[in-house]
């Protein structure tokens, strides 16, 4: 580890008195992350800044965090924690906006992204501008302006591992941009948190299934074989906080989470009702199975506590650790797929109503 680079922390509240910026903070993850930051789980930040380009989502989120149902011209923050929550309009594609919001930031959670797979396939240049250029703007602002940002946590996806679609390709490049930044931004630690599908997040399959079931079907799926890793938003934040506490510069943190066949998830959610199951074929850019650790990454992967850690691909950034080696070829959603009671228990635990005995008809 180069001199002056922050290392892993675990012996004090990390964010006490810090200014924290969440890019893409109005998304599903950003809202849960904001709540848990304000609750002081990893220290009490002096300010949490939600940075995004959607004024509508910012307005909705602002009201939600004030527990208000009706907007008024005079917004009053009723609780102390709301004095620490501010909103800034801007786009990660705009270097000046990024530089402005980072000027006195201490920690950045970089969650801004185009993440809808077919949308990225039909608009690849737009995906590059957000997922690649956005990360590059963040690094450039810190490097060129000599900003005192201590840690940047990049939020990545299993689609960045062995990518076959534009979304995954751009997120894979984003990972490499952030890892490489450790060599160029003295005093700033850049790390990555990579995880799979978030149950019931905006744009995921669970809300779609709920709507289809409410209308009596059909339930639309791509293929019978398709599998996905499943975790909750809170589990995603757990991973991010673990990386914040323990990751060395350039490392990628990965959760050890279960996977399931999407067809089985649909059947569990049907709750015993006879609902038609209609297969529509794989959408543009989709994979049948996702991978969180590739075969090529396995030699650099170790087990640290409850998580997997991929050491940086750049040898200059690697540090010696006492971690256990990861002894699998790769970590695929096709391995150890949950079924039956285990799947129902997982879904129920995450607030997705599911009962055994569901019936779906192809």
In Å, how far from its chain's centre is CA 231? 11
Q: At what angle do helices 262-269 and 340-349 cross, to 10 degrees?
A: 70
Alpha helices in 103-258 (DSSP H): 117-122, 124-127, 133-145, 166-180, 205-214, 233-246
- Note whether 253 and 190 are within 8 A (CB): no
> Whole-angstrom Cα distance, residue 100 to residue 152?
16
Give backbone dihedrals phi and psi of 230, rounded to 5 degrees, phi first.
-130, 130
Q: Output the CA–CA distances (angstroms, integers) from residue 194 to 152, 236, 243, 255, in the order listed.
A: 14, 9, 10, 8
Asked whether the bond before 218 is cis by omega within 30 degrees of 0, the reply is: yes
Residues identified as active-site: 159
Q: Taking a C-beta distance cutoff of 8 angstroms, is the pair 179, 314 a contact?
A: yes
Q: Produce one character per residue of 214-234: b if its CB has 16 or more CB atoms within 10 Å, e if not.
A: eeebbbebbeeebbbbbbbbe
Cβ-Cβ contacts under 8 Å for 68 (sequence gap 6 or more): none
- Calpha distance 26→85 (Å, rounded): 12
Tell me the two tokens of residue 253: 């943190």
Instruction: List the one residue out of 7, 42, 27 whose CA is nearest residue 241.
Output: 42
Cα gap 289→14, rounded to integer Å: 36
Cα distance between residue 208 and residue 272, in whole Å: 18
φ/ψ of residue 155, rounded to 5? -95, 115
The CA-based angle 265-207-257, given to 5 degrees, is 50
């Amino acid at each position: 580890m180069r001199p002056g680079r922050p290392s892993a922390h675990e012996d004090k509240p990390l964010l006490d008195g810090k200014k924290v910026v969440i890019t893409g903070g109005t998304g599903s993850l950003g809202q849960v992350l904001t709540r848990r930051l304000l609750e002081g789980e990893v220290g009490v930040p002096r300010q949490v800044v939600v940075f995004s380009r959607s004024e509508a989502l910012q307005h909705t989120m602002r009201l939600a965090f004030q527990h208000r149902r009706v907007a008024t011209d005079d917004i009053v923050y009723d609780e102390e924690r709301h004095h620490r929550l501010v909103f800034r309009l801007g786009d990660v594609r705009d270097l000046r906006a990024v530089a402005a919001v980072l000027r006195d930031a201490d920690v950045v959670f970089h969650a801004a992204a185009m993440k809808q797979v077919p949308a990225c396939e039909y608009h690849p240049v737009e995906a590059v501008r957000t997922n690649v250029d956005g990360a590059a703007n963040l690094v450039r602002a810190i490097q060129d302006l000599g900003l005192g940002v201590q840690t940047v946590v990049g939020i990545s996806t299993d689609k960045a591992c062995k990518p076959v679609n534009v979304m995954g390709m751009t997120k894979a490049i984003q990972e490499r941009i952030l890892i490489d930044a450790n060599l160029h931004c003295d005093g700033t630690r850049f790390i990555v948190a990579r995880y799979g599908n978030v149950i019931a997040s905006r744009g995921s399959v669970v809300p779609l299934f709920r709507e289809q079931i409410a209308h009596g079907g059909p339930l639309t799926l791509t293929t019978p074989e398709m599998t996905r890793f499943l975790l909750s938003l809170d589990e995603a934040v757990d991973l991010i906080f673990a990386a914040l506490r323990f990751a060395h510069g350039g490392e990628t943190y990965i959760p050890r989470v279960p996977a399931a066949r999407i067809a089985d998830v649909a059947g569990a959610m049907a709750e015993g009702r006879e609902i038609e199951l209609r297969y529509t074929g794989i959408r543009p850019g989709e994979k049948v199975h996702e991978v969180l650790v590739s075969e090529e990454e396995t030699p650099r992967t170790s087990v640290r506590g409850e998580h997997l850690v991929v050491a940086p691909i750049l040898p200059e950034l690697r540090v010696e650790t006492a971690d256990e080696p990861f002894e699998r070829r790769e970590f695929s959603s096709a391995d150890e797929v949950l079924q039956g009671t285990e799947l129902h228990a997982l879904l129920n635990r995450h607030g997705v109503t599911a009962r055994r005995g569901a019936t779906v008809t192809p």
